[in-house]
Structure formats: structure tokens, C-alpha cells
């Protein structure tokens, strides 16, 4: 005669349920700790990459007021292209996005936040750099119309590629707009009407878009004929080396 297994005691099920419930707060706490650790790791990663972009090995900065204040000393108008540090930022983010596509399958949100935080870290540094703004607003060589146009272009470039990459946060958008507004006020304080010298918004968008295509190797110059150096015209079919030459000299100062 086979002995059938005894049915579970009635008091065992509530006991097991009670054990599971007692573990829930502990599991939630561990999950919070893990999330905080991930956030700290991500922030540390972004700070390190931002520092590598902003500072040289000697402790000088690639992102300084001279990039912009020196432009109005030129006899000829520069060939317009985003400043080198923002080209580097774009290329770094593009590489990271490509790697993240393979590494974070199903965790796209994590990759998006990573790209967003790195971009914010660089732009917030610019926004909060007291030395930068002291030189722009009160230095012996204040920001002029050409410097303003370059800074405006750099910020619109960041807005465009972060928007296209889908990691443009509201905070980043607002900080960039604040930077542009502060630069415009700095030029206005010198007695120059900044709006009389700035090109239309479409010009910034077009130059920024051409820059993205050039930097990613997707530019098609066959149908582009007008001159990039003119704020009232479209981007020309000049060679990459010619157009980028304006930005390539910035890190030497």
C-alpha cells in the first residue's frame, strides 16, 4: 500500500507568505543601494570624460574665453565651423552611442541617460566657469560680434546633435539658452547691437547640420555651392581640412 504525501499544513502557507513579505523591504533597500551605486559610477564616468575633454595634460583648458574673444582680432571673417572641443564632444558621444547600442540591448534608457549626463556635464561646466565669464564680460578684450556668433554656433551645434541623438534634456536645453542669452548681453554691454550682427537662426541650423554630416563622413558636397563664410549664405563645398582649420588652432592657446 502506497503512502500518499501529506497535504501541506494549513499554517505553512501563511508562514511562507509572511517570509516573502518580510523580505520585500530588504530587497527594495538593496535595489535602492544598487541604483545609487550605478548612478555614482555613471556620474564618475561622465566627470572623467568631461575633464579629459576640457583640460589638457598640463592643466590648461581647451574651453576658454580666448576661443571666442580672439576672433574679432582677425582681419578676415573666419570660416564657420563648431569649435574643436565641441567637435570632440560630438565624436565621443557618437562612438559611445554606437557601443551602447550593442552593450545595452533592452536597456536603452541607461545608455540615453549616460549620453545626456556627459553632455550636461560639459555644458554645465561652461555655464558655471567664473573665469570664462569674467573674461567674456569684464576682460581687457570683451566678447565681440564674431566671438558671439561662434559661441552661438557651438551651442546650436550641441542642441542639434543631442536632439537628433534623443538625449537632449530640458535642463540641457535651458542651460544652453541661458549661455546664449548671457553672451548676447555681454556684447550688448559694449555698445554693440548683437542682433544687428547675428545671422538668422536658419544659418546656425544649416552650418551645424553640415558639420554633423562632415564629422560623420556623410557629407555630399556635390550639390552645395554657396559660401560658408557668409552668414547670409549656405555652407560651401570647401574641403573638410579648410573648414576645420578655424577650429584646429584653438587648442594651441
CA atoms of 170 and 39, how far apart (whole Å): 19
Residue 158 near residue 89 (C-beta atoms within 8 A): yes
> Does residue 79 lie within any of the structural domains?
yes
pTM of the model: 0.72
DSSP string, 43-59: HHHHHHHHHHHHB-TTS
Per-residue confidence (pLDDT) for residue 159, from 0 to 100: 97
Per-residue confidence (pLDDT) for residue 81, from 0 to 100: 96
Enclosing domain of residue 149:
64-218+225-252
Per-residue confidence (pLDDT) for residue 231, from 0 to 100: 43
> Does residue 50 lie within any of the structural domains?
no
Per-residue confidence (pLDDT) for residue 137, from 0 to 100: 94
Please name the helix (run of DSSP H) or strand (run of DSSP E) that holds residue 115, with its range, or none. Answer: helix 108-128
Per-residue confidence (pLDDT) for residue 179, from 0 to 100: 97
> Does residue 38 lie within any of the structural domains?
no
End-to-end CA distance of the chain, in Å? 95
Per-residue confidence (pLDDT) for residue 113, from 0 to 100: 86
> Does residue 168 lie within any of the structural domains?
yes
| The Cα angle at residue 195 between residues 65 and 141, in degrees rounded to 5 | 25
> Does residue 14 lie within any of the structural domains?
no
166: left (phi over 0), alpha (psi -120 to 50) or beta: left
User: Mean pLDDT for each consecutive 10-residue tract of the chain (253 residues)?
Assistant: 59 60 72 61 64 76 90 86 95 87 70 88 94 94 95 97 94 97 96 94 96 87 46 39 41 42
Per-residue confidence (pLDDT) for residue 221, from 0 to 100: 53
List the one residue out of 186, 179, 180 whose CA is nearest residue 136. 186
Number of domains composing the chain: 1
Per-residue confidence (pLDDT) for residue 67, from 0 to 100: 93
Amino acid at each position: 500500500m502506497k503512502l500518499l504525501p501529506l497535504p501541506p499544513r494549513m499554517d505553512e502557507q501563511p508562514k511562507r507568505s509572511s517570509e516573502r513579505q518580510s523580505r520585500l523591504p530588504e530587497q527594495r533597500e538593496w535595489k535602492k543601494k544598487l541604483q545609487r551605486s550605478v548612478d555614482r559610477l555613471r556620474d564618475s564616468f561622465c566627470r572623467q570624460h568631461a575633464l579629459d575633454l576640457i583640460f589638457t595634460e598640463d592643466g590648461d583648458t581647451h574651453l576658454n574665453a580666448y576661443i571666442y574673444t580672439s576672433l574679432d582680432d582677425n582681419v578676415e571673417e573666419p570660416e564657420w565651423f563648431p569649435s574643436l572641443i565641441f567637435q570632440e564632444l560630438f565624436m565621443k558621444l557618437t562612438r559611445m552611442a554606437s557601443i551602447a547600442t550593442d552593450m545595452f540591448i533592452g536597456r536603452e534608457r541607461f545608455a540615453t541617460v549616460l549620453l545626456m549626463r556627459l553632455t550636461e556635464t560639459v555644458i554645465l561646466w561652461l555655464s558655471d566657469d567664473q573665469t570664462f565669464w569674467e573674461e567674456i564680460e569684464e576682460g581687457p578684450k570683451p566678447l565681440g560680434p564674431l566671438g558671439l556668433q561662434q559661441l552661438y554656433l557651438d551651442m546650436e551645434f550641441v542642441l542639434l546633435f543631442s536632439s537628433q541623438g534623443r538625449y537632449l534634456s530640458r535642463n540641457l536645453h535651458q542651460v544652453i539658452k541661458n549661455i546664449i542669452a548671457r553672451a548676447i548681453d555681454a556684447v550688448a554691454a559694449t555698445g554693440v547691437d548683437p542682433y544687428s550682427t547675428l545671422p538668422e537662426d536658419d544659418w546656425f541650423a544649416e552650418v551645424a547640420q553640415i558639420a554633423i554630416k562632415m564629422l560623420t563622413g556623410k557629407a555630399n558636397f556635390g550639390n552645395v555651392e554657396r559660401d560658408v563664410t557668409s552668414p547670409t549664405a549656405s555652407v560651401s563645398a570647401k574641403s573638410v581640412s579648410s573648414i576645420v582649420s578655424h577650429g584646429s588652432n584653438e587648442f594651441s592657446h
